[in-house]
Structure 1
């Protein structure tokens, strides 16, 4: 009888510990935010000079402000137009990298707006909202935006354009975080190759 009680007690303690760990992962702060935001969490902590409480407060505020945002679907003709415009950006990169990056920045802002994110006129607000829904892809957009302001040479612009393609793909897709099928071979030898 004593053995049975000990086994039951051990099972109950293990179940309680497991339940607490699961609850901790769902809380708005800490590991839940770290899991949700991934590299964006680390970037925000670094921006706050390692102050995780300040970074987590900022990220929790982003979730409050933009977490309930529902992405609007794109009509097939809009999706085709965006795909065509992105291919033109990639082609333009060969002859005019700066112009291509400027166009990519504007195209991403417009696509995000058309999907229901805040207008691209306020870049910080738009990237904050995008980070809540597409944390793994938003940094490429930031790099393109930085390149537009003239920071970095051709190689930096090329890398920024390549990285921003991930956000373009996920915004073009029907379902969040599911890349759209786009024709990547159309830009052979260009920035996305």
Structure 2
């Protein structure tokens, strides 16, 4: 075998190895970024998926869906109204926990709807909210 061919083979193998290392590092950074952003919701996605690639794909799809939504903050009047309703629901918990929980759940749905989140069932709501507030979703699930 001549030396030029040997050098070409070695260089080609080295380039392939470098490309694989770069790809692996980029993949790891992407996984780390998702884990950092989603926190406990990342673990929840892993537990409810068939492996890491599927879980991460679902999380990326959530982010894309969330970007397409027109989520708006509540105005001051609405914030005050919902805050008062939340305080009332918490106060009712002592006397009638079931009713208070139902009121609180309904209140959460109203706030989400007013802000622009679609109301498509609990899991879809949790997925949509998890993009911007993963810590809230982990509490809401429990």
Q: Scaled by the length of structure 1, what TM-score is found?
A: 0.55
- CA offsets per residue over residues 17-74 of structure 1, 9 Å max, x none? xxx7xx83896x411211111110011111226x111111111111121134343121
Q: Which residue of 1 aligns with 2:133?
A: 134
Paired residue secondary structure (2:134):
coil
Q: Which residue of 1 aligns with 2:46?
A: 45
Distance (Å, rounded) in 1 between the aligned partners of 2:52 and 2:27:
16
Distance (Å, rounded) in 2 between the aligned partners of 1:90 and 1:25:
45
Aligned-CA RMSD value: 2.2
Match status 1:74 vs 2:77: no
Paired residue secondary structure (1:126):
helix
Specify every segment of 5 or more residues in structure 2 that has no aligned partner in the other structure, as ranges: 1-21
Q: 1:97 to 1:53 in 2, by over 3 A?
A: same
Match status 1:123 vs 2:118: no
Q: Based on CA coordinates, which of the two structures has the bigger radius of gyration?
A: 2
Q: 1:26 to 1:89 in 2, by over 3 A?
A: farther
- Aligned-pair CA distance for 1:132: 0.8
Q: 1:25 to 1:104 in 2, by over 3 A?
A: farther
Distance (Å, rounded) in 2 between the aligned partners of 1:54 and 1:80:
41
Q: How does 1:53-132 map to 2 (within 5 A)?
A: 53-119=53-119, 121-132=120-131
- Aligned-pair CA distance for 1:140: 2.2
Greater per-residue helix proportion = 2
Q: Which residue of 2 aligns with 1:33?
A: 34
Distance (Å, rounded) in 1 between the aligned partners of 2:38 and 2:46:
11
Q: How many residues align?
A: 119
Q: 1:75 to 1:26 in 2, by over 3 A?
A: farther
Q: Is the 1:24–1:32 contact (alpha carbons within 8 Å) kept by the matching residues of 2?
A: no
Structure scoring higher RCO (CA < 8 A, sep ≥ 6) equals 2
Specify every segment of 5 or more residues in structure 1 that has no aligned partner in the other structure, as ranges: 1-19, 144-193
